[in-house]
Amino acid sequence: MTCAPPPDDPSPGAPHAALAPVSGFEPWILLPAFEGGPALRDAMIACGGYTPRSFSSMQEVLDALALATRVPDLLVTRVRLPDGDAFELIRHLAAYPVAPAIFIVSRQQRSVVKATVSLCEAHGLRMAGTTDMPLDVPAAFHQIEAFRNRARAPQRLQPRSLPLTVSELHNLLNTGRIRAYMQPKMNLKSGHITGFEALMRAVNVEGQVIAPSELIEPLGGAGLLLPATLQMFDQTVDFLMQCLNDGIPVGASVNVPLSLISDNHFCQKIVERVESAGLDPSWITVEITEDEAMANPALAIENTARIRMYGFNLSIDDFGTAYSSFAQLTKIPFSELKIERSFISGIETDKAKRAVVAACALLGKQLGLAVVAEGVETPSELAAVQEADCSHIQGYLLSRPMPVPEASAWLRELDGQRFALAQTVALQSWAPGL
């Protein structure tokens, strides 16, 4: 193959940094010669400057992994292997604290490939892509390049090897290092940015951004979710006051664990904060997750009714991931339903996902709720959620989560608060949502 971008490269004007020789990216290839293993290896060396290693069995890979000083970045594999299959391999890989991303080359029917992808997701492994046999080497190489670009995109959060200690957590809280990152939400009918979701991050002294997956559970374990959530709330109130005082009507949502809402101290604090700022609480939406809402219905009704009594709006987050009783849903005074991102990812090619999202959208509409499709990243996903009749979208297609000053500037650069979706086509190769 020649080292040129594919004809459908979504950003032909962008510099092709991906094609410059790069050291440090190590793919492993578990593909026999007759299925294109060596051809892919040659392309990686010639066009990517990678240092691939080739293997002929699952056991070879596992043995090499046990001895490796660094985990490979990527593993290209078939589904059926001479001494096992990709399912077993994925299970073994998942046992490692850091595992390579997986790229599947397959002759199998779609449902088997889909199950392989689902299994990776279930184990928390990253997917670099899939392709059918016979192997189209240039197309596979460009998929891998796109993955590598996503993996090193700006703002990608650095995984930490050790969990944060209680004293580190206290330090983050006491030095103002818990930060609200704002991700915009758009009304599909008007095209206006009508809100943001405040997502919790922390920035350590080295300036590295700590991901919520490394932060929220330790904060909960250390009994520090209350002060951390209050800090998020304060930053959100400040952000909204700046926008509204400038005549920009936007709301924002804050994720609040249900347990905190039953804490009177917490509720008093958030009410005090909106009152002292002079903010109408309807500009703030409290998001609780579906599993929390359904785990203890009586507690959920009591606490969510309290939130509504104070005038805040209420959203059910990650909808579709738990086992909701429809009757239960009607008893909790939600104003918004957010469809979990896993139903949106790849929706355009997945009939089952389209059906689930359309059903959620209809349910929300019938209950008088705003319905937000989360994690919309591509124009084709956008088209599918519009078709499903969702009222709002959130996701990388609009923007990644941004620090407050950046979000303020981003919002003010829009023409009349309207987001031009056409400009997003060039962003298709961005990193997936966090």
Partner 1 sequence: MDSNPIGPTGTPPAAPVALIVDDNAVNRNVTGQMLRRLGWTSVQVESGALALEQLRARRFDLMLLDLRMQDMDGEETCRRIRADLGLADLTIVAYTAHGMEDDRERILSAGFDRLLIKPIFLDDLRGLCHDVCPAT
Q: How far is the CB of 175 from partner 1 (least distance, A)?
A: 30
Within 8 A by CB and 6+ apart from 112, the residues are 79, 106
Chain residues binding partner 1 by CB under 8 A are 187, 189-190, 192, 194, 241, 244-245, 247-249, 251, 278-280, 282-283, 308, 311, 313, 333, 335, 368, 416-417
Cα–Cα distance for residue pair 383/361, rounded to 1 Å: 14
Q: How far is the CB of 9 from partner 1 (least distance, A)?
A: 36
Whose Cβ is closer to partner 1: residue 28's or residue 334's? Answer: 334
DSSP string, 115-153: HHHHHHHHHTPPEEEEEESSP-HHHHHHHHHHHHHHHT-
Whose Cβ is closer to partner 1: residue 100's or residue 281's? Answer: 281
Q: How far is the CB of 297 from partner 1 (least distance, A)?
A: 18
Whose Cβ is closer to partner 1: residue 21's or residue 333's? Answer: 333
CB 199 within 8 A of CB 407: no
Whose Cβ is closer to partner 1: residue 217's or residue 280's? Answer: 280
Whose Cβ is closer to partner 1: residue 241's or residue 294's? Answer: 241
Q: How far is the CB of 298 from partner 1 (least distance, A)?
A: 19
Host H or E run for residue 238: helix 225-245
Q: How far is the CB of 246 from partner 1 (least distance, A)?
A: 8
Q: How far is the CB of 407 from partner 1 (least distance, A)?
A: 18
User: CB 366: neighbour CB atoms within 10 A?
Assistant: 9
Whose Cβ is closer to partner 1: residue 22's or residue 244's? Answer: 244
Q: How far is the CB of 367 from partner 1 (least distance, A)?
A: 10
Comparing CA positions, the residue from 79, 38, 34 lying closest to residue 55 is 38
Whose Cβ is closer to partner 1: residue 187's or residue 229's? Answer: 187
Whose Cβ is closer to partner 1: residue 44's or residue 307's? Answer: 307
Q: Where are the beta strands (DSSP E) in 133-217?
A: 178-187, 193-203, 209-210
Comparing CA positions, the residue from 67, 1, 245 lying closest to residue 28 is 67
Whose Cβ is closer to partner 1: residue 94's or residue 279's? Answer: 279
Q: How far is the CB of 198 from partner 1 (least distance, A)?
A: 16
Q: How far is the CB of 190 from partner 1 (least distance, A)?
A: 4
CB 353 within 8 A of CB 346: yes
Helices 212-221, 166-174: axis angle to 10 degrees equals 110
Host H or E run for residue 285: strand 284-289
In eight-state DSSP terms, residue 176 is: T
User: CB 327: neighbour CB atoms within 10 A?
Assistant: 8
Residue 420, classified by CB atoms within 10 Å of its CB into exposed (0-12), middle (13-18) or buried (19+), is: exposed
Comparing CA positions, the residue from 331, 272, 337 lying closest to residue 299 is 331
